Amino acid sequence: MTYSFRIRINSSLTNTIQTEESEIAIPSENENYAISLRSENGLPIKESDQFSLIGSGYPSEEEANSEGVKIQRALMVALAKVRIGADYGHRAAKSVMTKYGLKWAEKKTGVRVRLLDNTHGLMVYKTYPKPKFVSVSGQFAHGANCDSFVEIFTKLIQKEPVLRERDLVAFTLFNASFFHPTSDSRFVLLVMAIEALIEPIERSPDAVLFVDNLIKQTKYSEIEKNEKDSIVGSLNWLRKESINQAGKRLVSSRIPTEQKYNGMSPEKFFSKCYQLRSDLVHGNIPYPTFKEIGSVVGTLEVLVSDLLTKHFLEEIE
Protein backbone atom coordinates (compact mmCIF):
# COMPACT_ATOMS: atom_id res chain seq x y z
CA MET A 1 0.00 0.00 0.00
CA THR A 2 1.27 3.47 -0.87
CA TYR A 3 0.03 6.97 -0.11
CA SER A 4 -0.28 10.13 -2.15
CA PHE A 5 -0.57 13.80 -1.37
CA ARG A 6 -2.54 16.34 -3.35
CA ILE A 7 -2.44 20.14 -3.09
CA ARG A 8 -5.29 21.92 -4.85
CA ILE A 9 -4.32 25.46 -5.82
CA ASN A 10 -6.27 28.38 -7.25
CA SER A 11 -4.33 30.61 -9.62
CA SER A 12 -4.84 33.91 -11.41
CA LEU A 13 -5.18 33.81 -15.18
CA THR A 14 -3.38 37.13 -15.47
CA ASN A 15 -0.07 35.39 -14.65
CA THR A 16 0.40 31.82 -15.82
CA ILE A 17 2.96 29.13 -16.61
CA GLN A 18 3.27 29.29 -20.38
CA THR A 19 2.70 25.72 -21.50
CA GLU A 20 0.14 23.98 -23.68
CA GLU A 21 0.48 20.86 -21.54
CA SER A 22 -2.20 20.00 -18.97
CA GLU A 23 0.38 18.19 -16.81
CA ILE A 24 4.04 18.83 -16.00
CA ALA A 25 6.23 16.06 -14.54
CA ILE A 26 8.47 17.38 -11.75
CA PRO A 27 11.84 15.60 -11.34
CA SER A 28 12.26 13.76 -8.01
CA GLU A 29 15.46 12.65 -6.28
CA ASN A 30 13.73 9.42 -5.27
CA GLU A 31 12.79 7.27 -8.28
CA ASN A 32 9.96 5.66 -6.27
CA TYR A 33 8.14 8.98 -5.97
CA ALA A 34 6.21 10.64 -8.81
CA ILE A 35 5.42 14.36 -8.64
CA SER A 36 3.39 16.31 -11.17
CA LEU A 37 1.60 19.63 -11.56
CA ARG A 38 -1.63 19.22 -13.48
CA SER A 39 -4.63 21.26 -14.56
CA GLU A 40 -7.84 20.39 -12.72
CA ASN A 41 -10.08 20.78 -15.76
CA GLY A 42 -7.96 19.18 -18.46
CA LEU A 43 -7.16 22.52 -20.09
CA PRO A 44 -3.58 23.61 -20.79
CA ILE A 45 -2.06 24.85 -17.55
CA LYS A 46 -1.68 28.34 -19.00
CA GLU A 47 -5.49 28.50 -19.48
CA SER A 48 -6.52 27.02 -16.14
CA ASP A 49 -7.23 28.90 -12.92
CA GLN A 50 -7.14 25.74 -10.79
CA PHE A 51 -4.49 23.05 -10.69
CA SER A 52 -3.09 20.40 -8.37
CA LEU A 53 0.37 19.36 -7.26
CA ILE A 54 0.29 15.58 -6.81
CA GLY A 55 2.89 13.31 -5.28
CA SER A 56 2.58 9.50 -5.08
CA GLY A 57 4.52 6.42 -4.05
CA TYR A 58 5.04 7.23 -0.35
CA PRO A 59 5.20 4.26 2.05
CA SER A 60 3.20 5.90 4.86
CA GLU A 61 0.58 8.56 5.44
CA GLU A 62 3.02 10.48 7.67
CA GLU A 63 5.74 10.56 5.00
CA ALA A 64 3.26 11.63 2.31
CA ASN A 65 2.10 14.48 4.52
CA SER A 66 5.66 15.52 5.42
CA GLU A 67 6.74 15.51 1.77
CA GLY A 68 3.58 17.36 0.78
CA VAL A 69 4.33 20.17 3.23
CA LYS A 70 7.96 20.37 2.08
CA ILE A 71 7.14 20.37 -1.64
CA GLN A 72 4.31 22.87 -1.19
CA ARG A 73 6.75 25.33 0.40
CA ALA A 74 9.16 24.84 -2.48
CA LEU A 75 6.30 25.52 -4.92
CA MET A 76 5.36 28.71 -3.07
CA VAL A 77 8.88 30.06 -3.42
CA ALA A 78 9.19 28.96 -7.06
CA LEU A 79 5.91 30.57 -8.15
CA ALA A 80 6.73 33.76 -6.25
CA LYS A 81 10.10 33.90 -8.05
CA VAL A 82 8.41 33.82 -11.47
CA ARG A 83 5.71 36.23 -10.17
CA ILE A 84 2.69 33.95 -10.36
CA GLY A 85 0.06 34.44 -7.66
CA ALA A 86 -1.60 31.37 -6.16
CA ASP A 87 -4.01 30.57 -3.34
CA TYR A 88 -2.91 27.46 -1.46
CA GLY A 89 -5.95 27.33 0.82
CA HIS A 90 -4.09 28.25 3.99
CA ARG A 91 -6.71 30.83 4.94
CA ALA A 92 -9.66 29.81 2.80
CA ALA A 93 -12.95 28.03 3.31
CA LYS A 94 -12.72 24.29 2.75
CA SER A 95 -15.06 21.95 0.94
CA VAL A 96 -17.66 20.44 3.25
CA MET A 97 -18.34 17.06 1.68
CA THR A 98 -19.02 14.50 4.43
CA LYS A 99 -18.82 10.74 3.92
CA TYR A 100 -22.59 10.77 3.45
CA GLY A 101 -22.26 13.53 0.88
CA LEU A 102 -19.64 11.51 -0.98
CA LYS A 103 -21.97 8.49 -1.02
CA TRP A 104 -24.77 10.72 -2.33
CA ALA A 105 -22.47 12.08 -5.07
CA GLU A 106 -21.50 8.56 -6.08
CA LYS A 107 -25.15 7.56 -6.36
CA LYS A 108 -26.12 10.79 -8.14
CA THR A 109 -23.34 10.64 -10.72
CA GLY A 110 -23.32 6.88 -11.12
CA VAL A 111 -19.54 6.93 -10.70
CA ARG A 112 -18.38 3.56 -9.31
CA VAL A 113 -14.99 4.69 -8.09
CA ARG A 114 -13.67 6.02 -4.80
CA LEU A 115 -14.73 9.63 -4.28
CA LEU A 116 -12.78 12.01 -2.05
CA ASP A 117 -13.42 15.54 -0.86
CA ASN A 118 -11.86 18.12 -3.21
CA THR A 119 -9.99 19.85 -0.39
CA HIS A 120 -8.53 23.30 -1.08
CA GLY A 121 -4.94 22.83 0.07
CA LEU A 122 -2.97 19.79 1.15
CA MET A 123 -4.58 16.37 1.62
CA VAL A 124 -3.17 12.84 1.96
CA TYR A 125 -4.90 9.63 0.87
CA LYS A 126 -4.31 6.01 -0.09
CA THR A 127 -3.12 5.92 -3.68
CA TYR A 128 -5.27 2.97 -4.77
CA PRO A 129 -7.97 2.53 -5.81
CA LYS A 130 -7.45 5.72 -7.77
CA PRO A 131 -9.96 8.35 -6.54
CA LYS A 132 -11.96 11.12 -8.11
CA PHE A 133 -12.39 14.41 -6.26
CA VAL A 134 -15.73 16.11 -5.72
CA SER A 135 -16.82 19.24 -3.92
CA VAL A 136 -19.76 21.49 -3.26
CA SER A 137 -19.55 25.24 -3.47
CA GLY A 138 -21.81 28.20 -3.14
CA GLN A 139 -21.65 31.96 -3.21
CA PHE A 140 -23.89 34.30 -1.29
CA ALA A 141 -25.16 37.28 -3.22
CA HIS A 142 -26.57 40.54 -1.92
CA GLY A 143 -29.41 41.96 -3.96
CA ALA A 144 -30.39 45.61 -3.67
CA ASN A 145 -34.04 46.59 -4.14
CA CYS A 146 -34.32 48.26 -7.54
CA ASP A 147 -36.96 50.84 -6.55
CA SER A 148 -35.01 51.91 -3.47
CA PHE A 149 -31.81 52.22 -5.50
CA VAL A 150 -33.48 54.39 -8.18
CA GLU A 151 -35.05 56.64 -5.53
CA ILE A 152 -31.72 57.18 -3.72
CA PHE A 153 -29.82 57.64 -6.98
CA THR A 154 -32.32 60.23 -8.25
CA LYS A 155 -32.17 62.27 -5.05
CA LEU A 156 -28.37 62.21 -5.00
CA ILE A 157 -28.22 63.45 -8.60
CA GLN A 158 -30.31 66.42 -7.57
CA LYS A 159 -28.21 67.00 -4.44
CA GLU A 160 -24.90 66.82 -6.32
CA PRO A 161 -22.77 65.36 -3.50
CA VAL A 162 -19.26 66.77 -3.24
CA LEU A 163 -16.53 64.14 -2.90
CA ARG A 164 -13.12 65.19 -1.64
CA GLU A 165 -9.96 63.41 -2.75
CA ARG A 166 -10.03 61.42 0.51
CA ASP A 167 -13.57 60.29 -0.28
CA LEU A 168 -12.63 59.18 -3.79
CA VAL A 169 -9.76 57.06 -2.48
CA ALA A 170 -12.00 55.55 0.21
CA PHE A 171 -14.72 54.70 -2.35
CA THR A 172 -12.09 53.14 -4.63
CA LEU A 173 -10.79 50.89 -1.84
CA PHE A 174 -14.33 49.97 -0.75
CA ASN A 175 -15.27 48.98 -4.31
CA ALA A 176 -12.02 47.06 -4.80
CA SER A 177 -12.88 44.88 -1.80
CA PHE A 178 -15.80 43.32 -3.72
CA PHE A 179 -13.41 41.90 -6.33
CA HIS A 180 -11.28 39.94 -3.85
CA PRO A 181 -12.29 36.35 -3.10
CA THR A 182 -10.50 35.97 0.24
CA SER A 183 -11.73 37.35 3.55
CA ASP A 184 -8.23 38.57 4.47
CA SER A 185 -7.77 40.78 1.41
CA ARG A 186 -11.33 42.11 1.61
CA PHE A 187 -10.87 42.89 5.29
CA VAL A 188 -7.60 44.80 4.79
CA LEU A 189 -9.04 46.87 1.91
CA LEU A 190 -12.11 47.79 3.97
CA VAL A 191 -9.99 48.95 6.90
CA MET A 192 -7.83 50.92 4.45
CA ALA A 193 -10.99 52.61 3.13
CA ILE A 194 -11.64 53.92 6.65
CA GLU A 195 -8.01 54.95 7.09
CA ALA A 196 -8.21 56.99 3.88
CA LEU A 197 -10.87 59.16 5.54
CA ILE A 198 -9.01 59.67 8.80
CA GLU A 199 -7.49 63.06 9.59
CA PRO A 200 -5.70 62.93 12.98
CA ILE A 201 -5.77 66.12 15.02
CA GLU A 202 -3.14 67.42 17.43
CA ARG A 203 -3.13 66.21 21.01
CA SER A 204 -3.69 68.56 23.94
CA PRO A 205 -1.20 71.47 24.32
CA ASP A 206 0.38 69.80 27.35
CA ALA A 207 0.85 66.53 25.45
CA VAL A 208 2.34 68.36 22.44
CA LEU A 209 4.75 70.28 24.74
CA PHE A 210 5.82 67.00 26.35
CA VAL A 211 6.51 65.42 22.94
CA ASP A 212 8.40 68.54 21.78
CA ASN A 213 10.64 68.28 24.85
CA LEU A 214 11.37 64.63 24.01
CA ILE A 215 12.23 65.66 20.45
CA LYS A 216 14.58 68.37 21.74
CA GLN A 217 16.31 65.94 24.12
CA THR A 218 16.74 63.43 21.33
CA LYS A 219 18.26 66.01 18.97
CA TYR A 220 20.89 66.96 21.57
CA SER A 221 21.64 63.39 22.60
CA GLU A 222 24.79 61.42 21.74
CA ILE A 223 22.84 58.88 19.69
CA GLU A 224 24.21 58.09 16.21
CA LYS A 225 22.68 60.47 13.62
CA ASN A 226 20.71 57.94 11.54
CA GLU A 227 19.11 56.44 14.63
CA LYS A 228 18.48 59.92 16.07
CA ASP A 229 16.69 61.05 12.90
CA SER A 230 14.55 57.92 12.96
CA ILE A 231 13.50 58.48 16.59
CA VAL A 232 12.71 62.15 15.94
CA GLY A 233 10.57 61.13 12.96
CA SER A 234 8.61 58.70 15.14
CA LEU A 235 8.19 61.27 17.91
CA ASN A 236 6.76 63.81 15.44
CA TRP A 237 3.89 61.40 14.82
CA LEU A 238 3.11 61.47 18.54
CA ARG A 239 2.12 65.14 18.30
CA LYS A 240 -1.16 63.93 16.80
CA GLU A 241 -3.70 61.41 18.05
CA SER A 242 -3.29 57.76 17.06
CA ILE A 243 -5.03 56.28 14.02
CA ASN A 244 -7.18 54.22 16.38
CA GLN A 245 -8.28 57.33 18.29
CA ALA A 246 -8.87 59.30 15.09
CA GLY A 247 -10.82 56.41 13.56
CA LYS A 248 -13.11 56.12 16.57
CA ARG A 249 -13.69 59.88 16.46
CA LEU A 250 -14.51 59.66 12.74
CA VAL A 251 -17.08 56.86 13.01
CA SER A 252 -18.73 58.42 16.08
CA SER A 253 -19.10 61.73 14.20
CA ARG A 254 -20.87 60.07 11.24
CA ILE A 255 -22.76 57.13 12.76
CA PRO A 256 -25.05 57.24 15.83
CA THR A 257 -23.63 55.42 18.86
CA GLU A 258 -26.85 53.45 19.29
CA GLN A 259 -26.33 51.75 15.92
CA LYS A 260 -24.75 48.35 16.53
CA TYR A 261 -22.29 46.27 14.53
CA ASN A 262 -21.94 42.68 15.76
CA GLY A 263 -23.51 43.96 18.97
CA MET A 264 -20.91 46.73 19.38
CA SER A 265 -21.00 50.49 19.05
CA PRO A 266 -19.43 51.89 15.84
CA GLU A 267 -16.34 53.06 17.78
CA LYS A 268 -15.82 49.75 19.55
CA PHE A 269 -16.33 47.71 16.38
CA PHE A 270 -13.87 49.88 14.44
CA SER A 271 -11.31 49.55 17.24
CA LYS A 272 -11.68 45.75 17.20
CA CYS A 273 -11.22 45.63 13.42
CA TYR A 274 -8.25 47.99 13.52
CA GLN A 275 -6.54 45.78 16.11
CA LEU A 276 -7.19 42.67 13.98
CA ARG A 277 -5.78 44.53 10.98
CA SER A 278 -2.64 45.49 12.92
CA ASP A 279 -2.16 41.92 14.12
CA LEU A 280 -2.63 40.58 10.59
CA VAL A 281 -0.39 42.94 8.62
CA HIS A 282 2.30 43.57 11.24
CA GLY A 283 2.88 39.92 12.04
CA ASN A 284 1.69 39.93 15.64
CA ILE A 285 1.73 36.31 16.79
CA PRO A 286 -0.69 34.61 17.04
CA TYR A 287 -2.18 35.87 13.79
CA PRO A 288 -5.96 36.38 13.67
CA THR A 289 -7.54 33.14 12.50
CA PHE A 290 -9.50 32.72 9.28
CA LYS A 291 -12.60 32.34 11.46
CA GLU A 292 -11.93 35.61 13.33
CA ILE A 293 -11.54 37.61 10.12
CA GLY A 294 -14.53 35.92 8.52
CA SER A 295 -16.73 36.75 11.51
CA VAL A 296 -16.24 40.51 11.09
CA VAL A 297 -15.59 41.19 7.40
CA GLY A 298 -19.27 41.18 6.37
CA THR A 299 -20.24 43.57 9.15
CA LEU A 300 -17.21 45.75 8.40
CA GLU A 301 -18.52 46.10 4.85
CA VAL A 302 -21.78 47.47 6.30
CA LEU A 303 -19.88 49.88 8.57
CA VAL A 304 -17.77 51.24 5.70
CA SER A 305 -20.89 51.62 3.54
CA ASP A 306 -22.57 53.62 6.32
CA LEU A 307 -19.42 55.66 6.91
CA LEU A 308 -19.14 56.60 3.23
CA THR A 309 -22.80 57.38 2.61
CA LYS A 310 -24.71 58.23 5.79
CA HIS A 311 -23.87 61.94 5.86
CA PHE A 312 -24.85 62.28 2.18
CA LEU A 313 -28.14 60.45 2.70
CA GLU A 314 -29.05 62.57 5.71
CA GLU A 315 -28.96 65.62 3.44
CA ILE A 316 -31.59 64.20 1.07
CA GLU A 317 -34.03 62.81 3.65
- Structural domain boundaries of the chain? 3-134, 146-200+241-314, 205-237
In the three-class reduction of DSSP (H, G, I as helix; E, B as strand; rest coil), residue 38 is classed as strand
Q: Report the number of secondary-structure helices (H) and strands (E) in the chain.
A: 10, 8
pLDDT at 100 over 70: no
List, for residues 7-46, the tens digit of each pLDDT value. Answer: 988 887 778 888 999 999 999 888 889 999 999 888 999 8
Stretch 302-307: mean pLDDT:
93
pLDDT at 246: 94
pLDDT at 196: 95
Stretch 57-67: mean pLDDT:
94
Q: Give the number of other CB atoms < 10 A from CB of residue 8.
A: 22
> Checking DSSP bridges between strand 50-58 and strand 34-39, what pairing results, if any?
antiparallel
Q: Say if domain 146-200+241-314 classifies as CATH 1.10.8.
A: no
pTM (two decimals): 0.69
User: Hey, what CATH topology would domain 3-134 get?
Assistant: TATA-Binding Protein (3.30.310)
